[in-house]
Amino acid sequence: MNDQEPPGKPLRKRRRDPEGHRAAILEAARHTFTERGYARTTLREIARRAGVTHGLISRHFSTKERLFLAAVPGNRDLERVAAGDPVTLPDRIAHGFVQRMETDAVNDPLVALLRSAASDERTAAHLLAAMQEHSVTVYRSVLSPDAPSAPGDDLDTRVALLGSQLVGVTFSRYIARTEPLASMAPEQLTEHLTGILRHILFD
Amino acid sequence: MNDQEPPGKPLRKRRRDPEGHRAAILEAARHTFTERGYARTTLREIARRAGVTHGLISRHFSTKERLFLAAVPGNRDLERVAAGDPVTLPDRIAHGFVQRMETDAVNDPLVALLRSAASDERTAAHLLAAMQEHSVTVYRSVLSPDAPSAPGDDLDTRVALLGSQLVGVTFSRYIARTEPLASMAPEQLTEHLTGILRHILFD
């Protein structure tokens, strides 16, 4: 690749490119978490694969947990997926979830997390909780941007139930691969999920 | 225990009691599947714990799979739980599920199955599929007793989505134990689930 660099562009400058480093770290993290599971993954191994120093990862993400959360596709893209009309939020969540899983379920860290939960329940619990908190924050900002922490509402519960529906579908369709969910057309699954998520969030 | 048998009741007669044997086998099966996981459980081990012969288990249940399905509480009690007014079927499913899990989630074979899925996906898939088929049959008999196999209906899909909601809640509340589901009062969880399951089955 370096051979194709425009002449005169110093290598040193590329190495200092923070966005490029961030992307390389996230890519390496995603593959390493998927291959080795959360508990056995080290920042050192990710640094090696990304071709950066351990210290640089710490500067960008501070902890392994934060790096994991940044690397999980659904979590990472949540703001982008959720942004828009509150009324059609369920449609976007369902569509974003199915699209992401159809693209690369085998390498999805959520799938890896569910698979590794058997041997590492506390970590799985901790990470699921962190993902859920993030979802609550993002959905709340879409649903009630003027009252970001309306007391007494039950959005936490609704998001937890919504999350468990997605965890269950992930398990049935992408891990155990039971029918009829396993062979359902993505569009049909999206449609079914949209209806259920709308009920969970709004009814 | 034998010391407390009423005098004159022959031990031989007790040993021939088919209902007593069946119950002892199911009890031993439930414990063994939970402790050792599906794949590592043998009929021989269950026979030893139940104090019966291997051949007697085969006569009662024919295969390990059938024995597992008979031993899973939710599956075993499904006819009883589901029977009644079709309109309130979701209420009974939600109530039966929560009650069963609250009673003994740690020893529930569904929990064991989800936990062991990481190491044994094909078995997990196979057993989940068998449980789902059983649910479809039972729910169909409650919902449309006069048309037990109405063609073109999408009950299979609805039951699969309902099942994945329950799998997800099992995972979140009873395995990973993430909040707010983990600490929710059983009555509140039942109420939430009833609403979701009603939507999935009827809307």
> Residue A159: which pLDDT band, with cuts at 50, 70 and 90?
confident
pLDDT greater than 70 at residue A46: yes
> Residue A10: which pLDDT band, with cuts at 50, 70 and 90?
very low
| A86 interface with B at CB cutoff 8 Å | no
Q: Do A156 and B121 touch (CB under 8 A)?
A: no
> Residue A11: which pLDDT band, with cuts at 50, 70 and 90?
very low
pLDDT greater than 70 at residue B152: no
- Dump pLDDT digits (tens) for B83-111: 888 889 899 989 988 988 888 777 676 77
Q: Do A175 and B203 touch (CB under 8 A)?
A: no
**B203 vs A contacts (CB less than 8 Å):** 195, 199
- Dump pLDDT digits (tens) for A16-42: 677 888 989 998 988 888 777 777 889
Give me the pLDDT at residue B8, please. 44
Name the burial class of residue A48, with classes exposed (0-12), middle (13-18) and buried (19+) by CB atoms within 10 angstroms of its CB.
Answer: middle
Give me the pLDDT at residue B30, please. 83
CB A24 within 8 A of CB A48: no
Full set of structural domains in chain A with CATH: 2-64 (1.10.10.60), 73-202 (1.10.357.10)
Nearest residue in chain B measured CA to CA from A111: B118
Among B97, B98, B113, B161, pick the best mutation site for testing chain A contact (most A Cβ within 10 A).
B161
Secondary structure (DSSP) of chain A:
-GGGSPTT--HHHHHT-HHHHHHHHHHHHHHHHHHHHHHH--HHHHHHHHTS-HHHHHHHHSSHHHHHHHHSHHHHTHHHHH-S-GGGHHHHHHHHHHHHHHHHSTT-HHHHHHHHTTT-HHHHHHHHHHHHHHHHHHHHHHH-TTSTT-TT--HHHHHHHHHHHHHHHIIIIIIS--TTTTTS-HHHHHHHHHHHHHHHHH-
**Which of B24, B26, B30, B25 has the alpha carbon at shortest distance from B109?**
B30
Average pLDDT, chain A: 80
**Angle in degrees, CA A2, A8, A11, rounded to 5:** 45
> Residue A76: which pLDDT band, with cuts at 50, 70 and 90?
low
Provide ipTM, 2 decimals.
0.73
Give me the pLDDT at residue A66, please. 84
